[in-house]
Amino acid sequence: MKKYLKLAQVRALLADMEDELGLSELSAVERDVLYAFTEAAERQSSVATRDVMSHPLVTPISRPTVFRAIDRLKSHGLLQHVEGRERGLYTLKD
């Protein structure tokens, strides 16, 4: 959601710090997918998986890997599935 964009940007910056310092709980792929969600959330409140798939950071990654990354981001509490909507529609969690 757009109102959480700034929080998501701060989290993405902190994720880069975690990676630089070896503190990361997210892999490089998960960070890239999270960043793609963050950018897409700037344009729309809910982000479809297909929009993330077309992001330049994500296009080189295989579909199964992207879906595994989305699962991990959900379990980290960073993404939330939009209840009662189409499959593969998510919002960034605060």
Partner 1 sequence: MRALVIETFAGSVAYILAFTLVILVIGPVQSALITIPGTPDTPDPSLLFLPHGVRILIAWLFKWRAVIALLPGAAIMHFAFLGSAGFTGYALLPLFIGVTVAPLTFEMFKRLGWNLDAGAGAPRWRGVMLVGFCASIVNSLLTNYAYAASLPSYIGYLIGDFFGLFFAFLILLAVFRAFERRANIDPTGGAPKEQ
Note the residues at the interface with partner 1 (CB under 8 A). 6, 9-18, 20, 23, 25, 32, 35, 39, 42, 57, 67, 70-71, 74-81, 83, 87-88, 93
89-92, strands of its sheet edge to edge: 47-48, 89-92, 79-81
First and final C-alpha spacing in the chain: 9
**CB of 45 vs partner 1, minimal distance in Å:** 16
**CB of 11 vs partner 1, minimal distance in Å:** 6
Residue closer to partner 1, measured from CB, 27 or 74 = 74
- For 79, phi and psi rounded to 5 degrees? -125, 150
Residue closer to partner 1, measured from CB, 62 or 75 = 75
